[in-house]
Amino acid sequence: LQSQTHIRPNVYSYGIMMRIVLRFASSPKEQQRLLKHVFQQCCDYGCVSEENLHRFLQCVTDNNGVIERVFPKHVLVGKQNSRKYKHGYHICVDDLPTEWTTNVNKIGHS
């Protein structure tokens, strides 16, 4: 999608891409690698919705410190010891840098 000048990914396309990765990745290791990659692109394009954030946090295992590499340190402060996600962090959209969510409320192409 990124190479097409007239097509831009949006909040919904990133959600769909994460679901595809979860369903069709060839191995758990590949699934985690692809989830991280898709979520980082989602952040770069400003398309992190509450649903996309939740899906990522729910599915990433964080065996290799993925959470610490994806999220800025100030986002993680005070967010540990949550039972909601298996890696122990509870992060909401309001905690994120605004540029990660800048295209969430736009309709159509982001």
pLDDT, tens only, 55-106:
998 888 877 788 888 998 888 877 666 666 777 778 888 889 999 999 998 6
- The arithmetic mean of pLDDT across residues 16-40, rounded, is 94
Looking at residue 54, its amino acid is H
The percent of residues in the chain predicted with pLDDT above 90, rounded, is 51
Closest CA to 59 of 15, 99, 98, 95: 15
Query: Which pLDDT does position 60 carry in this prediction?
Result: 87
Rounded to an integer, the average pLDDT of 21-44 is: 94
How far apart CA 77 and CA 42 sit, in angstroms, is 22
- The pair of structure tokens assigned to 104 is 């969430």
Instruction: Please indicate whether residue 2 or residue 57 has the higher confidence score (pLDDT).
Output: 57
